[in-house]
Amino acid sequence: QVQLVESGGGLVQAGGSLRLSCAASGSIFSINAMGWYRQAPGKQRELVATITSGTSTNYADSVKGRFTISRDNAKNTVYLQMNSLKPEDTAVYYCNADVITIATLLVFPYWGQGTQVTVAS
């Protein structure tokens, strides 16, 4: 069993900042890529940012220069620093991790439960 637990969401004024965290726990052998996705009401889930185990990063064009993804491999944790937030960033943010489990030594994707980010204009 693997669990991903997100934290750090909330309500912020436009132009403000938030930092999301996502900690993975359970029967983890190792973790490959980790990432953040978001889903706004009435819209499909979209990629925000990803980071490989080697710390190469990829960002959606809409967040480049404003958001920074990072990870702490010793803690199995991924972070998303969000600056200069805009009302259009309002969404439920989900953490994703490609986990190699101890039991199978196979890679499976796991998702967190989501954390709400609301940016007021």
pLDDT of residue 120: 98
Mean pLDDT, the chain, whole residue set = 97
pLDDT reading at 106 higher than 90: yes
pLDDT reading at 54 higher than 90: no
Q: Which residues contact 78 (CB under 8 A, 6 or more apart)?
A: 21, 22, 34, 35, 36, 51, 69, 70, 71, 95, 97
Average pLDDT over residues 33-49: 97
Percent of the chain predicted with pLDDT > 70: 100
Nearest alpha-carbon partner for 70 in 55, 84, 59 = 55
pLDDT of residue 55: 82
If pLDDT is split at 50, 70 and 90, which confidence band does 76 have? very high
In 3-18, which positions are buried (b, 16+ CB within 10 angstroms) versus exposed (e)? ebebebbeebeeeeeb
Average pLDDT over residues 32-48: 97
